[in-house]
Amino acid sequence: MFPLLLTDQLDDERTWVFPIGISGSLSHDLGEIEAEIAALAEGLDKAGEIRLFPRPLRRPAKALLVGIGAGDESDWRAAGAAISRAVSDNEPLQIMLGEQVAMRALAEGLWLGGYRYRDAREEPRSAEIQLMTTTPQAYAESLARAHTTAVAAWFARDLANAPASLKNPDWLAEEIVGAAAKRTGVTVRIRTGAELERFGGLRAVGAASKFPPCLVEMSWHPAGATTHVALVGKGITFDSGGISIKTRPGMKNMKIDMSGAAAVAAATLGAADLNLPVRVTALLPLAENAVGAAAYRPGDVLTHYDGSTTETTNSDAEGRLVLADALGYAAAELSADVIVDVATLTGAAEIALGTRIAALFSHDDELAGALTEAGRSAGEAMWRLPLPDDYREYLRSEVADRHSSPTRGAGAVAAALYLSEFLGDQAANWAHIDMAGPSWAAETDLEITRGATGWGARTLLRYLEGLSA
Ligand code: BES
Ligand code: MN
Ligand code: ZN
């Protein structure tokens, strides 16, 4: 990631960037260009809108203006992303900040907007961006938090953007082991083969693939932690649909079906980077949902970690099967205070809420509120949907405790109800986030770069920060 530097030294060798909005003011002595900048700022009220100073300048070399709208967090994040995209990657910049700045959001926007998939042909930005303020020390902490957030989001995006020709369960597990090894205090345990005996859902979903499934358990357990959060992320490295095979357009982006796993891993690493006094256990059930002679079939009955059974009516409803085992394990073995799962679970969630809003489910109003607020602050929107008990009959099976793919509508709700069955008493302090919609962006938009969005890493990290605040 390119460096951002706080400074109180004006550098007129660099391109100057002026944020303009109701809370932004030109609080610097700009000499001869002051009046022209003020004229150019006229009517610039949209966050992220860029205007270029129209004539050649000697010092600075160049100037541009960026709208910051009303100056709230999302506006500053939009402005940061717009700045990153407006200039070439090697252009030295200095952003001139006045009295009021949402520094964390601005820095997050700069980094997120500057993201490129690390294996892409294009090099990412390398030139430092300077943040010019009269009180640099006051913003050091905000900048450090933004850095951790951006590292988490970039990590999640890199993992999800990786093609499935590279990304199988072993590869993904090794990437996570490698990232954990760069931190102190993060441990990883990987279960494979016979250790997965009780994980009947995970074994069934992974059965047809050349690459075996595994369960990654990652732990951040600082001394003195009072709260213990279990994070569970769906980790399907490619979802072909299995025997209930997907359509061509439906299958095309399915390398991102491990975005939930990427988000929980990234947030856990972020908790360690910030040394948060919160215990975090991340569970990543990893498998490829492939087609083959060993594939699990529609109508098969399998046994989950908690001993209950599922009739698998559609092999494309695979995410809930691997989550069922991981949630059952979390509920039975971890004694966590809170369990949150994140998954690209249903196309129905995308139909309901589109590509910028995830669906949130919880029986716990306080937990739902905290997650929604974390998402708002991080720039990732969620909308809560219900868990109606009377829809549970959608799940009824003749041959097992339940079946996996109800077809009576409310697909995202039915999937959430299915998951809730594996939590036992812990259903009361559990939340499920269906991020099928926002996990992929067809087009670049503000801080979202086209491709895998890394959705969830930022929200989960903010949530963990909130617990220790
Ligand atoms: N991975 C998909 C859901 C998905 C869809 C993620 C679009 C990202 C974008 C999931 O495994 C799936 O196939 N769900 C089925 C469930 C159905 C068979 C009950 C779906 O949504 O059609
Ligand atoms: Mn599927
Ligand atoms: Zn899937």
Instruction: List the residue whose alpha carbon is closest to atom 19 of ligand 1.
Output: 405
Residues 140-189: tens digit of each pLDDT: 999 999 999 999 999 999 999 999 999 999 999 999 999 999 999 999 99
> Would you say residue 140 lies in a domain?
no
What pLDDT does residue 23 have?
Answer: 52
Q: Is 23 in the pocket of ligand 1 (CB under 6 A)?
A: no
CA-angle at 407, arms to 302 and 428, nearest 5°: 65
Q: Are residues 242 and 272 in the same domain?
A: yes
d(CA 28, CA 345): 50
Q: Is 239 in the pocket of ligand 1 (CB under 6 A)?
A: yes
> Would you say residue 398 lies in a domain?
yes
Question: Which CATH number goes with the domain that contains 62?
Answer: 3.40.220.10
Measure 317 CA to ligand 3 centroid, in angstroms: 7
| pLDDT band with cut points at 50, 70 and 90 for residue 310 | very high
Measure 215 CA to ligand 2 centroid, in angstroms: 18
CA-angle at 117, arms to 354 and 452, nearest 5°: 15
Q: Are residues 12 and 80 in the same domain?
A: yes
Q: Are residues 311 and 438 in the same domain?
A: yes
Instruction: List the residue whose alpha carbon is closest to atom 16 of ligand 1.
Output: 317
| Residue 305 CB contacts under 8 Å (≥ 6 apart), including other chains | 198, 199, 200, 201, 324, 325, 326, 328, 329, 332, 422
> Would you say residue 149 lies in a domain?
no
Q: Are residues 123 and 192 in the same domain?
A: no
State the total domains in the chain.
2
d(CA 129, CA 24): 19
Give the HSE-up count for residue 172: Cα atoms under 13 Å, Cβ half-sphere: 43
Measure 281 CA to ligand 2 centroid, in angstroms: 25
Q: Are residues 353 and 415 in the same domain?
A: yes
Measure 382 CA to ligand 3 centroid, in angstroms: 20
Q: Is 319 in the pocket of ligand 1 (CB under 6 A)?
A: yes
In testing the pocket of ligand 1, which one of 238, 252, 316 has its CB within 8 Å of the most ligand atoms?
A: 316
| Residue 189 CB contacts under 8 Å (≥ 6 apart), including other chains | 216, 217, 218, 219
Active-site positions read 246, 320
What pLDDT does residue 27 have?
Answer: 57
In terms of DSSP H, where are the helices of 182-225?
200-206
Residue identified by tokens 């908790």 is 271
Write out the residue range of the structural domain in which residue 348 sits: 155-467
What pLDDT does residue 300 have?
Answer: 98
Q: Are residues 220 and 120 in the same domain?
A: no
Q: Is 158 in the pocket of ligand 1 (CB under 6 A)?
A: no
* Residue-level length of the chain: 469
Residue range 40-62: average pLDDT? Answer: 90
Domain-terminating residue out of 82, 104, 134: 134
Q: Which residues fall inside 5 Å of ion ligand 2, going by CB?
A: 239, 316, 318
Q: Is 212 in the pocket of ligand 1 (CB under 6 A)?
A: no
Question: The tokens of 207 are what?
Answer: 């059965």
Choose among 98, 34, 89: nearest CA to 63: 34
Domain-terminating residue out of 78, 102, 134: 134
Q: Is 348 in the pocket of ligand 1 (CB under 6 A)?
A: yes
> Would you say residue 370 lies in a domain?
yes
Q: Are residues 204 and 128 in the same domain?
A: no
Choose among 135, 98, 93: nearest CA to 110: 93
Question: The tokens of 62 are what?
Answer: 């160049």
Average model confidence (pLDDT) across the chain: 95
CB of 425 within 8 A of CB of 336? no
24, pLDDT greater than 60:
no
Q: Is 317 in the pocket of ligand 1 (CB under 6 A)?
A: yes
| pLDDT band with cut points at 50, 70 and 90 for residue 8 | very high
CB of 376 within 8 A of CB of 440? no
| Residue 31 CB contacts under 8 Å (≥ 6 apart), including other chains | none
Measure 350 CA to ligand 1 centroid, in angstroms: 10
- What is the Rg, in whole angstroms, of the alpha carbon atoms belonging to the chain? 23
Virtual CA dihedral for 377, 186, 143, 440, nearest 10 degrees?
Answer: -50
Measure 403 CA to ligand 2 centroid, in angstroms: 15
In testing the pocket of ligand 1, which one of 288, 289, 320, 345 has its CB within 8 Å of the most ligand atoms?
A: 345
> Would you say residue 331 lies in a domain?
yes
Residues 182-194: tens digit of each pLDDT: 999 999 999 999 9
Domain-terminating residue out of 75, 100, 134: 134
Question: Which CATH number goes with the domain that contains 322?
Answer: 3.40.630.10
Residue type, 137: Q
37, pLDDT greater than 60:
yes
Q: Are residues 120 and 169 in the same domain?
A: no
> Would you say residue 141 lies in a domain?
no
Measure 317 CA to ligand 2 centroid, in angstroms: 5
The kind and range of the H/E element at 180 are: helix 169-181
Q: Is 352 in the pocket of ligand 1 (CB under 6 A)?
A: no
Q: How distant, in Å, are the alpha carbons of 257, 373, 435 from that of 384? A: 22, 12, 12
In sequence order, what are the beta bridge partners of 124?
none
Q: Are residues 298 and 433 in the same domain?
A: yes
Q: What is the separation, in whole angstroms, between the first and last Cα of the chain?
A: 27
Measure 288 CA to ligand 3 centroid, in angstroms: 9
What pLDDT does residue 55 have?
Answer: 86
Instruction: List the residue whose alpha carbon is closest to atom 14 of ligand 1.
Output: 346
CB of 33 within 8 A of CB of 81? no
Give the HSE-up count for residue 448: Cα atoms under 13 Å, Cβ half-sphere: 22
112, pLDDT greater than 60:
yes
Ligand 1 atom at shortest distance from the alpha carbon of 257: 1
Give the HSE-up count for residue 391: Cα atoms under 13 Å, Cβ half-sphere: 19
Tell me how crowded residue 17 is: count the other CB atoms within 10 A of its CB.
26
Q: Is 142 in the pocket of ligand 1 (CB under 6 A)?
A: no
Q: Are residues 182 and 54 in the same domain?
A: no
Instruction: List the residue whose alpha carbon is closest to atom 3 of ligand 1.
Output: 346
> Would you say residue 161 lies in a domain?
yes
CB of 435 within 8 A of CB of 343? yes
d(CA 360, CA 369): 10
Q: Is 411 in the pocket of ligand 1 (CB under 6 A)?
A: yes
Q: Are residues 17 and 63 in the same domain?
A: yes
d(CA 93, CA 7): 12
Choose among 153, 118, 90, 59: nearest CA to 458: 153
Ligand 1 atom at shortest distance from the alpha carbon of 406: 19
| Residue 280 CB contacts under 8 Å (≥ 6 apart), including other chains | 219, 220, 221, 228, 229, 230, 231, 267, 268, 271, 464
What pLDDT does residue 22 have?
Answer: 67
Q: Is 435 in the pocket of ligand 1 (CB under 6 A)?
A: no
Residue type, 193: G
> Would you say residue 442 lies in a domain?
yes
What pLDDT does residue 315 have?
Answer: 98
| pLDDT band with cut points at 50, 70 and 90 for residue 228 | very high
Tell me how crowded residue 359 is: count the other CB atoms within 10 A of its CB.
26
d(CA 96, CA 93): 10
Q: Are residues 331 and 198 in the same domain?
A: yes
